[in-house]
Structure 1
């Protein structure tokens, strides 16, 4: 029997998941109506937006590849909400098409609750992907949010060091539900009492243009001289914040941390414009989602794939795979995103970044 998926990013995670799937006929979470292991399934895949490069470049193709690897007769029906809550009612269209299982990364966790409930009523299991959606989901896969927040907080604290003085860490976020989540708690557990943190400055949308406006507001309100670091919701928000800092002629740039390890963010880290991003390898997360979706769609149990349990505002004890993120700085680019094959040195070290790559030891 497989030892399952451990809470770490391991090279052998895909193998563990595949073995775990073989054990999914045991007692566990019940799912859809397909019980034959040879049955072809229709899997609905709903991703939230395309401003962040990860979804179209990594998540979608990796999930589709893993589905085909595990089930040659299975098909994936895909839709992207383009960061629009109303558009993501695409879930209801897939329910009407009678897909066998849904993999859902929601734009807004509350707004899709009714769709998740409708899926449950239609005997369509829902695997909540990356963000925990409300409603009766059957399984959840993501990176440990508390660990993500702690990684950001620890990076900021290390970068700021003894230079905080009376300065502040500016927090810039995208639109959220307003509730404190585990990533926020993780960061605050590190930062509170050691540095001053501003209220969240919220961008109207998860894009660089709106993040630029939010950061500009923070600069005007806080004063350029007081900003000692920037805690950004993700790498796209970080990009907008950095551009606002540049437009305000703040030199040197304060340390900025984000998450997702997008290619442009890795290049900013190499050049020194950005201090750190949280690297969440996409393959283990995609593999786990595809593995659990196929098991649930066939009406099998999840076996020993999920090692954790999580609670949402509406559901308790949800089987979960929680992976461990990595703090990405200029010092470990080669041993993380390059080693994993997420990006090549040539992709990172374009002519614009060639000299910075040499200084960072990437082109040796």
Structure 2
């Protein structure tokens, strides 16, 4: 074979092999570059277009029983402000005592894609349906101020309502250690009303056992309505021929109705009456002398704490809860805040000092 031809073939073969190697190297280089993921982005994120998902603003749903009482208007405004100060937003709906409407409104909030739902239940049992629907949508639920019964509620935040009842009874028994007592309860559908009554009777029972105190009238107030409390108090007065020594009412609105019934009999200011919630009208009655005491639950403290917890939980962060409260189904992780008894002697150092009500408003009718 011609020597020149052999050399030509050898050169051609070497050149071809070199070209093949270069092509293979290019293919491998392309494969490596295609698998590179920029720092801080997961493979899953890269597979969705190499874009980092935009963080949406946390949205809290607030399902409220009612806005027909002064205190709940305060809760609404303070909670909204606190949530927004934390960089989140809140959607608020109130059912005004309608169970079916509250469930429907909660469903609306769930369908809007809220990150967490906060519920003030009207009916402690009925609102279990709200918790179940929220959980099916992957949304956690906080029970605010009132406990939802028989549901896997994620957290309960409130004041210690049993302690509230104890403070009421302690204040009245210190003034009337013996005599005929009337108890005007709240709505039996509200677990708080049950806890309040339990606290009251924790204190009263030893007096009852000794025969010092007789509870001559004990009735729930349907839907917490003052008109129903007024009817109850009228019945209590009639049944006992006005011979009553003390009244404990489940909140200030019902206490106001009690005092209205007493006034109709010329007994206002003569019979000690306890309430709770520190409503402005109650504070005014206390300094005027027709209501003996109220229990102050700093709503701003509750609203601020609930807002912080709600936003944290919505972000998936853990929230410590030092107590457990049984709701008939589970031991609910709970945050319970402490209330304060208020009467004429400490009105200025509590309600007024905190700015809960102004001194001018509280003393408006007595000129102090």
Q: Quote the Cα distance in structure 2 between the aligned partners of 1:77 and 1:220.
A: 47
Q: What displacement does 1:181 show?
A: 3.2
| Aligned counterparts, 1:1-364, within 5 A | 39-56=56-73, 58-71=74-87, 74-89=88-103, 90-134=105-149, 135-161=151-177, 164=178, 167-177=179-189, 181-194=194-207, 195-225=213-243, 227-250=244-267, 252-302=269-319, 304=320, 306-316=321-331, 318-350=332-364, 352-354=365-367, 358=368
**Kept in 1: contact 2:84–2:90 (CA 8 A):** no
Tell me the alpha carbon deviations over residues 263-322 of structure 1, each in whole angstroms, 9 at most, x when there is no partner.
Answer: 0000000000000111100111111111111111112211x3x22222211222x22110
Q: Which has the larger radius of gyration?
A: 2
Shift of the 353–222 alpha-carbon distance from structure 1 to 2, 3 Å rule, reads same
Counterpart-to-counterpart distance in 2, 1:216 and 1:296: 47
User: In structure 1, the residue corresponding to 2:223 is in which secondary structure?
Assistant: coil
Moved more, 327-336 or 133-142: 133-142
How far off its partner does 1:202 sit? 2.7
Q: Deviations over 1:178-216 (max 9, x none)?
A: 978333222112111312123422333323222111110
The alpha carbon displacement at 1:38 in A equals 5.9
CA contact (8 A) 1:288 1:321 kept: no
Contact 2:273 2:292 in 1 (8 A): yes
Say which SS state the counterpart of residue 230 (structure 2) adopts: helix
What is the CA–CA distance in structure 1 between the aligned matches of 2:154 and 2:294, rounded to whole Å? Answer: 30
Which protein, 1 or 2, shows the higher relative CO under an 8 Å CA cutoff with sep ≥ 6?
1
User: Which sections of structure 2, spanning at least 5 residues, go unmatched?
Assistant: 1-52, 208-212
Determine which structure has the larger helix proportion and give its number: 2
8 A Cα contact 2:65 2:96, kept in partner:
yes
**Count of residue correspondences:** 308
Name the SS of the counterpart of 1:86 in structure 2.
helix
* TM-score in terms of structure 2 length: 0.79
1:101–1:293 contact (8 Å) kept in structure 2: yes
Contact 1:51 1:206 in 2 (8 A): no
TM-fit CA distance, 1:137:
1.2
For residues 135 and 316 of structure 2, the distance between their equivalents in structure 1, rounded to whole angstroms, comes to 13
User: C-alpha displacement at 1:37, in angstroms?
Assistant: 12
Distance 1:45 1:230, change over 3 A: same
Using the TM superposition, name which of 283-292 and 192-201 deviates more.
192-201
Gaps of 5+ in 1: 1-35, 359-364
SS in 1 for 2:206: coil
